[in-house]
Structure formats: C-alpha cells, structure tokens
Amino acid sequence: MTAGILLLLFGAVTAWLSLQIRVGTLRAPGSGFFPFYLGLLLILLAAIHVAQLWPSSGALPDEEAGGVRQSSLQRVLLFLAAMALGTGLLPILGYPLVAFLLMVLLLYILGVRRWSRLVTIALCTAGMCYVLFVRWLQIPLPTAAFGL
C-alpha cells in the first residue's frame, strides 16, 4: 500500500513539475508534454493499484500481514531515488547519457545482473528514445553542460 501511495505522489509531482515547462499540444509537443502525460498515467495506475489493495472495511492494512515484502518497498524507493538522481544530472550530463545510465540503474534494481544484457538494453532504449524524441518528433532535449 505504501509503495502505491508513493508512486501516486511521484506521478503527481511529475505532472505538476511538467507544467512548469512548455507542454504544448499533440501536434506541437513541448518539453513537458510527455512527462506531464506520463505523470497522469502513473497517477491513474497507482490509484487503481491502491484501490485494489484498500480493504472493504476502510482501514489501512497492516503492511506485514498484507504480504507486502520489505524488498518491494525498498525497490520502489530505489526507483524514486534513481529518477530523482537522473533528473538532477540531466542538465549536467545531457539526455543521452542520463537515459543510458538511468536505464542501467533501473534494470539493476529490477534484478538484471548480466552486464552484457544491461548495457545492450540500456543502449537500445536510450538510442531509440533519442531517435524518437529528438530526430522524429523534434523535441529539444537537454544536452550536456560540457558540450556533448
């Protein structure tokens, strides 16, 4: 239950912060377009998850008795910390490098331990996102502060 509430709050903060930059429209999306709608989607999915866990009596379930493992809460907290770190590094390192490093970190948190698989998936994901957003949709994404 706690993990679902944290994800709901994270989605709300993401959507709210996205409104601080230009969102744009579907035909002319701005830098905040995708974060805003992904934040809304996260809010919706987290709310559905919390509603499914909510007992009919209206009381919050005991985390231990509800079968929520400590590792799942730690995993959600690590995800949130990784996203915050990636957001902080974005203006310094730029989108391509941060997307790659963030994907490696998230996959590692999920339990992928083979480095060849981690690097391959992260390179493909970061590369495809760059091609999709920068080249195809022509959305300007942050570049590194040191010129890359």
The ranges assigned to domains in the chain are: 1-68, 69-148
Q: Whole-angstrom Cα distance, residue 133 to residue 141?
A: 8
- Per the listing, tokens 């570049």 go with 143
Residue 147, SS3?
coil
In this structure, what DSSP letter does residue 19 have? T
Three-state DSSP class for residue 57: coil
Beta bridge partners of 24: 29
Nearest to residue 31, comparing CAs of 143, 140, 145?
A: 140
Residue 120 has a pLDDT of 93
Of 135, 120, 123, 116, residue with least CA distance to 96: 123
The pLDDT score that the predictor gives to residue 147 is 52
Contact 130, 122 (CB under 8 A): no
Average pLDDT for the chain: 80
Helix, strand, coil content of the chain in percent (nearest 5): 70, 0, 30
* Whole-structure pTM value: 0.56
Biggest alpha carbon distance in the chain?
Answer: 57
Q: How would residue 122 be classed by pLDDT, with cut points 50, 70 and 90?
A: very high
What is the rounded CA–CA span in Å between residue 119 and residue 117?
6
Q: What is the mean pLDDT of residues 8-19?
A: 86
Query: In this predicted structure, which of 49-63, 94-108, 121-135 has the lowest mean pLDDT?
Result: 49-63
Report whether pLDDT(101) > 90.
yes
For the stretch 17-68, pLDDT in tens is 888 888 888 788 888 888 888 888 888 888 888 888 776 545 444 444 444 4
**Band of pLDDT at residue 119, cut at 50, 70 and 90:** very high
- Residue 81's pLDDT band (cuts 50, 70, 90): confident
